[in-house]
Amino acid sequence: MKLITRDTDYAVRILCYLSGKKERTVVVEMVRELKIPAAFLRRIAQRLSKAGILTSAKGFNGGFILSAKPRDIRLLDVAEIFQGSFSLNDCLFKRRICPDRKTCFLRRQILDIEKYVLEKFTSLTVGDILAGGSIDGQKKNNQDRRE
Amino acid sequence: MKLITRDTDYAVRILCYLSGKKERTVVVEMVRELKIPAAFLRRIAQRLSKAGILTSAKGFNGGFILSAKPRDIRLLDVAEIFQGSFSLNDCLFKRRICPDRKTCFLRRQILDIEKYVLEKFTSLTVGDILAGGSIDGQKKNNQDRRE
DNA sequence: ACAAATGATACTAATATGATATCATTACAT
DNA sequence: ATGTAATGATATCATATTAGTATCATTTGT
Ligand code: FES
Ligand code: FES
């Protein structure tokens, strides 16, 4: 089971890479550095752009650039582009099988987990990922708190 | 995204239903009550049986019965039968893309979530689900604690 | 021997994920 | 204005996972 799908994964990489850039960056360059299949990377960049996370420019000096600072790009927003909204309890009502969803204990537990994931993914930003990767430590507090 | 797949979901229902039975119960009866497609329900019961969670008997007075008390059947064990082991961070190493997994902050976060889910699913038993569904309240404490 | 049950297993269908390919559009440079 | 370098939009294909079906073999009580 995957919490993060490949597209999201690639998207995060792309965003991390672009965090180090001040100017627009072209797909071929990203491909060179990130080793992601070109056509796929392009489509991902396009979706990020459409979602407003990247800003793009066509034509000669075109390319992609972050629309916001790394620490203002939340993992949740990125993940939702590719994986839809995070709702973990598709479990039952969809097909109306659970006898009584109001009192369903299992459902409450899953909602709890969902809440936890949501909090993590909301507080986690591209900036955090970058900082955690190189600097390490100290960054732990802002997500060690639930509710 | 689903944390619990349909098979697991059905399995839990089956287990809950069988919790109310002292004698072996036959597939057709479960189908009648649970409205799960017969062939599918049967296959699920068989897998539960193979995993030792149900005990089965062939032939005339055959059927399925719980192998243990409801409160000793953990959701984790059930889920793992149908969904494999719970590891949420398939994210990267599989294809060796993440530059440095030792310091990867994102990975640490996902491991955190994984741990949380594992704890919930380990402490949650069929007994809890039953109790939560009918009695309500009071049962909350044993899973409101992480780590 | 027969009927009632599960055991084992192979198959099909639908959906989600991962990846590719192609044509349209824009923008700069000459 | 024309060519080229870029992204935009979209259609298609491939693979994996999930959901569900079908069938034959085996066991057991009467
Ligand atoms: S409502 Fe989801 S398991 Fe009961
Ligand atoms: S190791 Fe999984 S995101 Fe870096």
For residues B85 and A14, give the distance between their C-alpha atoms in angstroms, rounded to a whole number: 30
Residue of B nearest to A126 (CA): B106
CB atoms under 10 Å from CB of B70, counted, come to: 18
> Tens digits of per-residue pLDDT, B11-40?
998 999 999 999 999 999 999 998 899 999
**Average model confidence (pLDDT) across chain A:** 82
What was the pLDDT predicted at A141? 40
Number of H helices, E strands in chain A: 6, 2
Confidence of residue A132 (pLDDT cuts 50, 70, 90): low
Stretch B44-70: mean pLDDT, rounded? 97
What was the pLDDT predicted at A98? 52
Is pLDDT at B48 greater than 90 in this prediction?
yes
Q: Which two tokens stand for residue A74?
A: 């939340």
> Tens digits of per-residue pLDDT, A61-102?
999 999 999 999 999 999 999 998 877 765 543 343 355 666
Question: A12 and chain B: CB distance < 8 Å anywhere?
Answer: yes
For residues A20 and B99, give the distance between their C-alpha atoms in angstroms, rounded to a whole number: 15
For residues A57 and A95, give the distance between their C-alpha atoms in angstroms, rounded to a whole number: 45
**A-B contacts (CB, under 8 Å):** 111
Q: A124: burial class by Cβ within 10 Å (0-12, 13-18, 19+)?
A: buried
What was the pLDDT predicted at B102? 66
A123-132, B35-44, B66-75: range with lowest mean pLDDT: A123-132
What was the pLDDT predicted at B90? 55
> Tens digits of per-residue pLDDT, B86-121?
877 655 433 433 556 666 777 788 888 889 989 999
Query: Amino acid identity of A90?
Result: D
Are B112 and A116 within 8 A, CB to CB? no
Stretch A123-144: mean pLDDT, rounded? 60
Is pLDDT at A136 greater than 90 in this prediction?
no
What was the pLDDT predicted at B3? 85
Question: A122 and chain B: CB distance < 8 Å anywhere?
Answer: no
Please tell me the class of the A6-134 domain.
mainly alpha
Stretch A21-42: mean pLDDT, rounded? 94
Q: B53: burial class by Cβ within 10 Å (0-12, 13-18, 19+)?
A: buried
A57 Cα: distance to centroid of ligand 2 (angstroms): 30
What was the pLDDT predicted at A89? 63
For residues B121 and A101, give the distance between their C-alpha atoms in angstroms, rounded to a whole number: 19
B24-28, B72-76, B143-147: range with lowest mean pLDDT: B143-147
Entry pTM: 0.82
Confidence of residue A140 (pLDDT cuts 50, 70, 90): very low
List all nucleotides in chain D with at least one atom under 7 A from a protein Cβ: 3-11, 18-23, 26-30
> Tens digits of per-residue pLDDT, B132-141?
644 333 333 3
What was the pLDDT predicted at A130? 84
Which one of A92, A113, A136 has the shortest CB-CB distance to B120? A113
Higher pLDDT pick, B56 / B130: B56
